[in-house]
Amino acid sequence: MAISSALSDRKRPIVISVAIFILLSSLLLLLSPAPSALPFFFSPTSRFSSSSSSFSRGAASAPPQTPLPVSASAPPQTPLPVSSPAPPRTPLPVSSPAPPRTPIPVLADASPHGTASGGSSSSAADLPRLEAAATADDADTNATQLSRGTQPAAAAQVSTSVDTKEITTGVSGGRGAEGGGVGGGGEEKPVEVASWKLCVVGKRVEPADYIPCLDNVKAVKALKSIRHMEHRERHCPTEPRSRCLVPLPAGYRLPLPWPRSRDMIWYNNVPHPKLVEYKKDQNWVRKSGNYFVFPGGGTQFKAGVTRYIRFIEQIMPQIKWGTHARTVLDVGCGVASFGGYLLDRNVITMSIAPKDEHEAQIQFALERGIPAFLAVIGTQKLPFPDNSFDVIHCARCRVHWYADGGKPLLELNRVLRPGGYYIWSATPVYRRGKSDEDDWNAMVTLTKSICWRTVVKSKDINRIGVVIYQKPTSNSCYTERKNNEPPLCSGSNGHSPWYTPLDSCLLLPALSKSGAGNSWPISWPERLNIRSSTSSENSSTWFSQENFDSDTKNWNGLISEVYSSEFAVNWSSIRNVMDMNAGFGGFAASLIDRPLWVMNVVPFDQPDTLPIIFNRGLIGVYHDWCEYFNTYPRTYDLLHMSYLLQSLANRCDIIEIAAEIDRILRPGRWFVLQDNIGMIRKMDRVLRSLHYKTAIMRRQFLVARKSFWRPDSTGS
């Protein structure tokens, strides 16, 4: 008994300790039911389950996370240094040129040529001071830090599989379970990225200005005729497409910010001085030190484009710039001063001209931050929808409208909205030489045959003449013509004018159920939020008002809650934007209050929403992204692609698409991809081989920033 009692006394403390431990554990579980409250009960499986459930409850329950600096070329396995948490950010005011909302690290390789500069004034007297002063925008070009945030409701509408907290730098391994394939699951097929080399171009082609579909010297030499400007049209290289990069001009630096850029640009960015001498008596452009300066003159408005715009409104008050007339096509635009100054009137102008002996005119326009596009009226239709522009303008644009049976003017008639105006300022309007009188008489005959009405013909104080025509709004004139010449077209061809020959017939406006022609859109800016289309093909449910409203709401939410607050994109430095798969134009519409413009691109094989985009008062073009775009290198600050990459990858190589993105994008600027995680990872690998700074956000966004890196002649 003594031995038993001694053993009981020896066990009693152990029993009491176990009882106390169980009691304390029970209390801990009651106070904190999560498995992590007891580390030794916490298995990897339970950790994943707990994390997943916390995401499903919402990001509000997750602790704040520290942003990671974005790496350019380090392998994904390399540990990343952690910076201190950034304070909450608030959106910048639209008109404010203020610096970024949070402190940003500076990368040493962001600009090998120093920082761009500029002052508050763009006058010639201020040029030395402008060159000496560094702008806040140049510091912004070195921003690479991406911040994390919670997922807004708008983002959830786009993809139900979005991970609200995931942001990764580059592409890390060991994520097969999270979805690596196109559909978000399974093993991802690797993307083989070849070493990059500089493009080899033909004779008389400047390597830094290379546009593959317009600089195909071999194809141009093989043309049988150039009578109708065939040599200025697209002649894209055949397979295999080149996988090369365009070099930077010597001394390149980031463009001056808008609106300073409208009046002056860096000479080294577009080092082509021929227009200075060629147009010296017309005030197109002048060289002053390290700058090109644009006085706002033109061939037909030597006294200034502002006075010319005011003169047009004086002789035809019903044009009502910026309310009634919103979208303009400027043919043969020169350096696009007409479109640049119409922006002051809330008018958006598509300025077009070919790549010809007027050296780099479209490049000048885009460097200035003015919407512009390389195009020519030759043998093929312009890449715009029928009945799209409110106004078309031609000031000495050197197009023989009445040539070849009047096909060039018939093309203008096709893209001009019923009730729209054609403004023609050229020597046949006001000179009396035999050649000019013959041209004028031919124009009178042709415009009458297509039922255009002469609204006004007048001269300004410099004796420069302008005539303004108006396209009819109904078909009555066409059907009552005594002579059916040009003949009426049988109807719209039913698809985009991509690589389509010019018509030799007259396209009738589509009639409404009441028998009237297409009604004019309501005044700007109200028309921005109205779904209307001039195309009868756009009556399917896909183009319904419900889908349009949903798209508008979705993009408003994404821009305000995600793009503006979570992406490390310095919006104050962005001027030229391209939406590579524009849909209804919701992305552009949601940015309308910012000091930027958007080129809305509708792929030729996607639903034809471009007529709706134009009716909203926006501009855009048709294009095939398996080919090269009609623009100079380094002409856009932000390229945006939403759910297009998969369909492109079925027809062309993702490496070629990335090479074209790199050609168009300015160094130090951004490419934003919204897609499934499989396509995002594929593109991420390619962009990292180009030394882009990349980050994957929310498993549906890739934000990539272009560096100044270019390969040397050996491809290293």
Q: How far apart are CA 489 and CA 500, in angstroms?
A: 15
Query: Residue type at 59?
Result: A
Q: Do 466 and 597 belong to one domain?
A: no
Per-residue confidence band for 513, with pLDDT thresholds at 50, 70 and 90: very low
Per-residue confidence band for 593, with pLDDT thresholds at 50, 70 and 90: very high
pLDDT over 70 (residue 94): no
More confident residue, 359 or 294: 294
pLDDT in tens, 241-278: 778 999 999 999 999 999 999 999 999 999 999 888 87
Question: What mean pLDDT do residues 455-478 have?
Answer: 93
Q: Do 286 and 417 belong to one domain?
A: yes
Looking at residue 535, what is its pLDDT? 54
Note down the domain range covering 568: 526-532+543-706
Q: Do 476 and 552 belong to one domain?
A: no
Q: Do 417 and 551 belong to one domain?
A: no
More confident residue, 4 or 711: 711
- The CATH number assigned to the domain holding 592 equals 3.40.50.150
Could you tell me the strand order of the sheet in which 416-425 lies? 372-374, 348-353, 327-331, 389-395, 416-425, 465-470, 453-459
Number of domains into which the chain is organized: 2
Question: What mean pLDDT do residues 202-214 have?
Answer: 93
Residue 84 lies in a domain: no
pTM: 0.76
Percent of the residues in the chain that have a pLDDT greater than 70, as a whole number: 70
Q: How far apart are CA 109 and CA 89, in angstroms?
A: 26
Per-residue confidence band for 494, with pLDDT thresholds at 50, 70 and 90: low
More confident residue, 274 or 39: 274
Q: How far apart are CA 322 and CA 311, in angstroms?
A: 15
Question: What mean pLDDT do residues 276-284 have?
Answer: 78
* pLDDT-wise least confident of 73-87, 640-654, 662-676: 73-87
* pLDDT-wise least confident of 12-21, 164-173, 363-372, 373-382: 164-173
Q: Do 440 and 576 belong to one domain?
A: no
Q: Do 443 and 565 belong to one domain?
A: no
What region does 434 belong to: left with phi over 0, alpha with psi -120 to 50, or beta? alpha
pLDDT in tens, 554-578: 999 999 999 998 998 999 999 999 9
Question: What mean pLDDT do residues 58-63 have?
Answer: 36
Q: Do 562 and 443 belong to one domain?
A: no
Concatenate the DSSP letters of all residues of 320-365 into one string.
-BTTTB-EEEEET-TT-HHHHHHGGGT-EEEEEE-SSSSTTHHHHH
Q: Do 601 and 473 belong to one domain?
A: no
* Mean pLDDT score across all residues of the chain: 78
Residue 73 lies in a domain: no
Looking at residue 571, what is its pLDDT? 95
pLDDT in tens, 420-456: 999 999 999 999 899 999 999 999 999 999 999 999 9
Per-residue confidence band for 496, with pLDDT thresholds at 50, 70 and 90: confident
Looking at residue 62, what is its pLDDT? 36
Give every CB contact of residue 584 below 8 A, 6+ residues apart in sequence: 531, 547, 548, 551, 552, 609, 612, 613, 616
Question: What mean pLDDT do residues 101-112 have?
Answer: 35
Per-residue confidence band for 617, with pLDDT thresholds at 50, 70 and 90: very high
Helix, strand, coil proportions of the chain in percent (round to 5)?
35, 15, 50
More confident residue, 132 or 282: 282
Question: What mean pLDDT do residues 531-539 have?
Answer: 58
Q: Of 462, 480, 498, which residue is a domain's last?
A: 480
Looking at residue 50, what is its pLDDT? 32
Q: Of 463, 480, 497, which residue is a domain's last?
A: 480
Alpha-helical (H) ranges within 383-469 are 407-415, 427-430, 434-449
Concatenate the DSSP letters of all residues of 72-108 into one string.
SSS-TTSPPP-PPPPPP--PPPTT-----SS-----T
Q: Helices then strands (H, E): number in the chain? A: 21, 20
More confident residue, 359 or 321: 321
Q: What length does the chain have?
A: 716
More confident residue, 587 or 282: 587
Residue 227 lies in a domain: no
Looking at residue 491, what is its pLDDT? 66
Per-residue confidence band for 71, with pLDDT thresholds at 50, 70 and 90: very low
What 3-state class would DSSP assign to 244?
strand
Residue 514 lies in a domain: no
pLDDT over 70 (residue 660): yes
More confident residue, 534 or 67: 534
Q: Do 467 and 559 belong to one domain?
A: no
pLDDT in tens, 212-227: 999 999 999 998 988 8
Q: Do 465 and 577 belong to one domain?
A: no
pLDDT over 50 (residue 26): yes
The DSSP code for 586 is H
Residue 490 lies in a domain: no
Question: What mean pLDDT do residues 27-49 have?
Answer: 39
Q: Do 373 and 280 belong to one domain?
A: yes
Find, among 415, 469, 420, the residue nearest to 446 by Cα.
Answer: 469
pLDDT over 80 (residue 665): yes
* pLDDT-wise least confident of 67-71, 441-445, 535-539, 561-565: 67-71
Query: Residue type at 496?
Result: S
Residue 651 lies in a domain: yes
Residue 154 lies in a domain: no
pLDDT over 60 (residue 18): yes
Q: Do 278 and 411 belong to one domain?
A: yes
Question: What mean pLDDT do residues 642-658 have?
Answer: 95
Looking at residue 547, what is its pLDDT? 93
pLDDT over 80 (residue 80): no
Q: How far apart are CA 264 and CA 287, in angstroms?
A: 9
More confident residue, 511 or 111: 511
Question: What mean pLDDT do residues 358-376 have?
Answer: 94
Per-residue confidence band for 461, with pLDDT thresholds at 50, 70 and 90: confident
Residue 231 lies in a domain: no
